[in-house]
Structure 1
């Protein structure tokens, strides 16, 4: 696995992760289904994605999902 991804690759990864979750749940959350549809069809999604990446790259972002959910110290 590479240590870094392009914006396109990261977007695909987010899409496929959502796709897998929606596909494996017998009754996926409606909001997640709508988000999945948005990732496929809304023309604004690419600009929204780039804004999300900019936020993720900020050193003092108010929320760090890795620290809060994955990193166990």
Structure 2
């Protein structure tokens, strides 16, 4: 690939501090989805939607999970 003298920065393979979505996913997995097992993608989507709705109704937790930069 010809980058025209542009050097992309090195990013480690796993860098949660550089990826803002990691913190909300970590919270959802540990508080809502940790023990949830299914082969049905619709059930997973429903559970995830319910989890996100619950989180959105808890401003104290939402502020912790998604701090404003």
TM-score with structure 2 length normalisation?
0.32
Quick check: which has more Rg, 1 or 2?
A: 2
Q: Which has the higher contact order (CA 8 A, sep 6+)?
A: 2
Structure with the higher fraction of residues in helix conformation: 1
